[in-house]
A = this chain, B = another copy of it.
């Protein structure tokens, strides 16, 4: 019985095999749901479910009902105005990343925001352009429409300028991304973000920051460099830029450097005096306004050749139908973009939902972004997700719900329809400088690498592979490579597990690695092998190898040698060169005979003693010409406590391995096996005449007690076993025991 005496552990209970335990303790018969049940449940419809479905499709209903006007509205207004200003600036800047005229980025801060207001479940993210995604769009845009006009034969491109063609490509791509997202949302595929681990996202976004940095260099330096696409494009771009470095426009460079230094400094101050400032100083907006004024006053564009934003139309463009030919051309690239866009937005949304304690729904988010992008794309908006910096502004200035988002969209609307022309003299280099400054956080993720290297080597390799692949091969291929590396890392962790041989800590029921401790008890002839990981196709061979190393012999080889020896003995007996005496098998005259080569397969079967008057004792010495490798264990215990799953191919391998041991008369025990795995073994025909359920024991100690009972230690028999080599040259024998089913070790 369980006792609670002071710091004593005392247990007295029957010894259990799994079978005994099941007999003594009745298992409750549990009805597991079949797939049909699940399907039925999923499609059951009643009033409550219908209402829930409606609420989950239009989350605005639930949060509008609890909207506290007095407490929340003020915050939302302040936040909306601040976010709107930032959104205008970022919209212009991120259009440059996408190689588009600046105003398309403004659309991304309007249409998607309005749609998300109705469909989104996050109350704090600011929907709109996301730099990484804009850059990915830019890669596609420059691939399909290079500087000198489209090469691809796309219908509908006739008579359009390069910029117009690019706008069509970007808009169609946005619709396609939206379609992918909507489809994934409807298929309930929101769970895929799980596969984008922190490490992967960190490596990927750092690489994206490098790409963005390089793409903005040309604006900051005031150079005209055509975009490249495809693997290694970053190298080609850098080569081109440094080839032209002497043509740098000093006015652009100086303006950019001033903007960068000021913004960086003020941001640092914002951070340091966070607690004292009511709202962080919107330095980017201030600098932009100043730059606009200065550029206008001194006619930067005209006199100094500074590239400016230029015309911003004071009306929306007419909506367009997406181009199906572009869908075909960009499908492979749109899919990773759909995932990246959603994953980033979801990650940011999760941070705020955790902080403010409400629930967001991945699938509904997919639907919301899908709809936003489809409708946004139809109005030529750039693809939308969220930008970390903008969401931070929305939340930190007091935004409580997406009402703030809608208000920011109103600000953008005012800019588009009313005062957009004021932004026309803004130098592109200033926008580039603002984008670059905002990369600081992403680039600083590099500092995480040494920490990872020290703490978790595989994770670090995943980071590095993702980063290098994303930088060199481009973001879409890089993401795929990173994903592969990440999955391989998971497999790798379980592929070369640290196996060990356990031994008993004297006086306890505890078993530990025998290399780690000194006060251990290891009965002669018993090996306890711990399998410290799941067993599956990638490690079953490794584990078998380690097991053979641990016991010190290959059971298959022993079995074959024994079977060969048996054939020889049988032959010699027939020829009369060997005779059965009371002392055992005795050599009569000189031995001869070549190896029997026929039917190699038979050698792998259990030893067949038919035709022999006695069963050979392999542990004793055999006649001189017959040699069989020694087997110095009689019991093998496999500790399955850490085996969390086993797959079909591993199951076959395990079965073979166990059989090989059983066939050389080693008793195999499996302990601490998970009940579900035990069930699976049963259903997969793991058990047969040789491998029986009775080899399963509850704990290592149960198995050990059982073994010691069968093979009492330090008795005469063990001494005999120990001293076999010192015994006479005679062959030990035992008469065959017909009642004994499984070959059994006797001394």
Contact = CB atoms under 8 A, between A and B. Distances in A.
A509 interface: yes
Interface stretch (A140-148, A308-316, A500-508): A500-508
Q: Say how many copies of this protein the assembly contains.
A: 2
Contact of A509 (B8, B13, B505): B13
B642 A507 contact: no
A1 B521 CA distance: 12
A197 B487 contact: no
A199 B533 CA distance: 21
A702 interface: yes
A359 to B, nearest CB: 11
B644 A497 contact: yes
A644 B644 contact: yes
Nearest to A561: B357
A64 interface: no
A504 B2 CA distance: 10
A374 interface: no
A645 interface: yes
A684 interface: yes
A490 B536 contact: yes
A709 interface: yes
A649 B513 CA distance: 28
Contacts of A240: none
B537 A199 contact: yes
Contacts of A261: none
A560 B357 contact: yes
Given A557-B357, A644-B532, A645-B533, A516 B28 contact: yes
Contact of A16 (B9, B459, B537): B9
Q: List the 4 closest A-B pairs by CB distance, nearest first.
A: A197-B537, A487-B487, A533-B644, A13-B508
A187 interface: no
10 contacts: A28-B518, A455-B684, A456-B647, A483-B484, A487-B490, A493-B534, A494-B644, A533-B644, A642-B642, A644-B644
Contact of A9 (B11, B487, B488): B11
A667 B342 CA distance: 38
Given A9-B705, A13-B507, A518-B26, A672 B197 contact: no
A12 B14 contact: no
A634 to B, nearest CB: 16
Given A11-B508, A490-B536, 6 more contacts: A7-B14, A27-B516, A456-B647, A459-B648, A487-B488, A494-B644
A358 to B, nearest CB: 11
Contacts of A512: 25, 675
Contacts of A647: 456, 458-459, 493
Nearest to A640: B642
Contacts of A698: 510
- What interface size band does chain A fall in? 35 or more
B357 A490 contact: no
A13 B8 CA distance: 6
Interface in A13-47: 13-16, 21, 25-28, 30
A689 interface: no
A452 B683 CA distance: 12
Instruction: Give chain A's interface secondary structure class.
Output: mixed
A719 interface: no
A498 interface: yes
A77 to B, nearest CB: 16
Contacts of A519: 25
A534 B535 CA distance: 12
A701 interface: yes
A600 interface: yes
Interface in A669-721: 672, 674-676, 683-684, 698-699, 701-702, 704-705, 708-709, 712
B644 A534 contact: yes
B494 A355 contact: no
A30 B497 contact: no
B2 A8 contact: no
A648 B494 contact: no
Contacts of A505: 25
A606 to B, nearest CB: 18
Contacts of A536: 490, 493
A349 to B, nearest CB: 14
Given A2-B507, A194-B495, A600 B355 contact: yes
Nearest to A452: B648
B490 A197 contact: no
Interface of A: 1-4, 6-16, 21, 25-28, 30, 71, 194-195, 197-199, 355-357, 452, 455-456, 458-459, 483-484, 487-488, 490-491, 493-495, 497-498, 504-505, 507-510, 512-513, 515-519, 521, 532-534, 536-538, 541, 556-557, 560, 597, 600-601, 641-645, 647-649, 672, 674-676, 683-684, 698-699, 701-702, 704-705, 708-709, 712
A36 to B, nearest CB: 15
B14 A198 contact: no
A195 B508 CA distance: 41
A30 B516 contact: yes
Contacts of A199: 537, 648-649
Contacts of A452: 648
A512 B581 CA distance: 56
Given A27-B516, A357-B557, A11 B509 contact: yes
A462 B710 CA distance: 45
Most buried by B among A356, A537, A675: A537
Most buried by B among A198, A452, A541, A701: A198
A4 B705 contact: yes
Given A510-B698, A709-B4, A493 B645 contact: yes
Contacts of A556: 357
A11 B644 contact: no
Contact of A15 (B9, B458, B541): B9
Contacts of A10: 11-13
B4 A14 contact: no
A355 B601 contact: yes
A25 to B, nearest CB: 6
A495 B487 CA distance: 12
B28 A517 contact: yes
Given A11-B701, A508-B13, A557-B357, A643 B645 contact: no
A680 to B, nearest CB: 8
A510 B9 CA distance: 13
A442 B521 CA distance: 52
Nearest to A514: B28
Contacts of A510: 13, 16, 21, 698-699
A505 to B, nearest CB: 6
Contacts of A12: 8-11
Contacts of A537: 194, 197-199
A259 to B, nearest CB: 32
